[in-house]
Amino acid sequence: MAVRLTVPIDEKSVRALRIGDSVLLSGLVFTGRDAAHKYMKETFIAGSCPASERAVYETLRKGLAGGVIYHCGPVVRQRPDGKYEFVAAGPTTSIREEPYEAAVMEHFGVRAIIGKGGMGPRTLEACRKLGAVYLHAIGGAATLIAESVREVVAVHKLDFGVPEAFWEIRVADLPCVVTMDSHGQSLHERIEAESRRKLAELLAR
């Protein structure tokens, strides 16, 4: 049975999760890929936030406290009324954000990262230290996942381009699987180790 999580997520709920758990996520989520993570790290964490970026910072600071970042470059269309909607919302490869993610999680109080392929040791340690999880979304199911996006609340930094902007979305029952938990466990590490073992066996024959 899937665990239902609603954003903002408290630490106790995250600590109760283990790798392999199925999750249905509801609430406010922010998309963010390479440009977004670089921007957060350089503008808000390593640098001093200029006045021109203060509104974006305050939105992220509020929305990511106990919140979720989804590594996603959506396909978006604009309706006649001017509002946006997601056509496709599949996950992108998460490891590209490894240089930034731990710092972003700590600074903003992020509780969950969604993506595909897993992340590295710094993010795993941040999950353990901060009480956060990595949720694996279904690759190749971009249209199906888009059905979970019930509303595009806002878009920030659209000048980065549609795939790289921060899309602030409201989701309902977005399906994910916990593959990195807050107890230092990673399914990705286990699978990689098992694959290496199997390869060594094959090469030894």
Catalytic residue ranges: 37
Q: Which helix (H) or strand (E) holds 169?
A: strand 166-180
Cα distances (Å, whole numbers) of residue 106 to 18, 23, 35, 87: 21, 23, 19, 32
Cα distances (Å, whole numbers) of residue 38 to 21, 32, 34, 42, 121: 30, 10, 6, 6, 19
Before 99, cis peptide (omega within 30)? no
Mapped onto helix, strand or coil, the DSSP state of residue 48 is coil
